Amino acid sequence: MEVGLPASIMSRLEPRRDHDRHPELLRFRDWVQSFRAFLLLDPKVLRMPDRGKHDTVGPSGEHLAPLLAKLKREKPEAFHKLVSRVKRLFPTVSDISIQGGRTWGWQTLRLHEGNGQAVVFNSQQMSDGVLRLLAVTSLLYLDRIPSVITFEEPENGVHPQLIREVVQVLKELTLRKPPNQCQVFFTTHSPYVLDEFFDHPEQVFVVERGRPLEGATITRLSERHQGKLKIVRETFEHSLGEAWVNGLLGATAGAKP
């Protein structure tokens, strides 16, 4: 989902008319409108046949099949790296293919497994976790990515043992070089995700609502719990997630009475 500016004066700017008068505002507007939000990578959407030319997946996972078909056709080396990464995570996988017409024909994903006798699974038979990992990982191999990307709980449906890989992909997105520098924000309720930031609590923000009908507060974990973090490290060894589940880091379920 691209971010729009319907209530802003910037929505009225026109490049031809306002280029000389408001160049900074136009550049800022273009930057904001390049943000992309993935609200929910919905397995039902990821499984659906799709067609057309697309440069990225949609906010709910639309266009994954034609995007991977384009990547395989135009950047076979990048597609091979994507498949190799999936094969490391799922040793029985031997290949990924796209079935259907080229560009404008309907296309669907297929997963090949070669553990003994070769078996091919269509997108309806693929697991939620594999589909979501494919959608997130595909962003690593695109030519251009947004400057800011947001995710709503990208680890949903992914096996706990593979959550680390999801976080690793998101971290790699932030390491891309100009002009593809990218900042990633994502929400989570997973203690396993939180554990991946044990050594970087400054990258974690706690969002919570103090009382009913009050607005939410956002606090950097390293600033809010400077004293507690040392105790957490000693008590819970390498698990911020366990400390959070035990109520030591805030953001507990429900509002405080």
Supply the DSSP string of 32-97, one letter for each residue.
HHT-EEE----HHHHHS-B-S--SS--TTSTTHHHHHHHHHHH-HHHHHHHHHHHHHHSTTEEEEE
Residues 19-51 have pLDDT tens digits of 777 777 777 777 676 788 888 899 999 999 999
- Whether residue 100 is contained in a domain is answered as no
Residue 58's closest CA among 119, 130, 123, 139? 139
φ, ψ of residue 106 in degrees (nearest 5): -65, 135
- Whether residue 171 is contained in a domain is answered as no
- Whether residue 77 is contained in a domain is answered as no
Give residue 50's pLDDT.
Answer: 95
Residues linked to residue 38 through DSSP beta bridges, in sequence order: 151
Please report, for residues 2, 17, 21, 33, 95, the alpha-carbon distance to residue 12 in angstroms, rounded to integers and kept in the order given.
17, 11, 13, 14, 48
Residue 83's closest CA among 113, 60, 59? 113
Give residue 40's pLDDT.
Answer: 83
Give residue 11's pLDDT.
Answer: 64
- Whether residue 156 is contained in a domain is answered as no
- Our CA angle for 46, 40, 29, nearest 5°, is 110
Query: Do residues 94 and 118 make contact, with C-beta atoms less than 8 angstroms apart?
Result: yes
d(CA 47, CA 106): 12
Which residue range forms the structural domain that includes residue 240? 189-257
Q: Give the count of domains, the chain.
A: 1
d(CA 173, CA 146): 10
d(CA 128, CA 42): 8
- Whether residue 256 is contained in a domain is answered as yes
- Whether residue 134 is contained in a domain is answered as no
Give residue 2's pLDDT.
Answer: 46
Q: How many CB atoms lie within 10 A of CB 42?
A: 20
Please report, for residues 113, 125, 134, the alpha-carbon distance to residue 129 in angstroms, rounded to integers and kept in the order given.
16, 12, 9
d(CA 93, CA 83): 9
- Whether residue 226 is contained in a domain is answered as yes
Kindly state the tokens that stand for 165.
């890989």
Range 49-52, long-range pairs (CB < 8 A, 24+ positions): 49/100, 49/106, 49/107, 49/108, 49/123, 50/106, 50/107, 50/108, 51/100, 51/101, 51/103, 51/104, 51/105, 51/106, 51/107, 52/103, 52/104
- Whether residue 162 is contained in a domain is answered as no
Kindly state the tokens that stand for 28.
């800022």
Give residue 103's pLDDT.
Answer: 65
pTM of the model: 0.82
Q: Over the chain (257 residues), what is each successive 10-residue block's mean pLDDT?
A: 54 69 73 79 94 90 94 96 94 93 85 85 94 94 88 92 94 89 93 92 87 81 74 77 84 62
Give residue 243's pLDDT.
Answer: 85
Contacts of 228 (CB under 8 A, 6+ apart): 248, 249
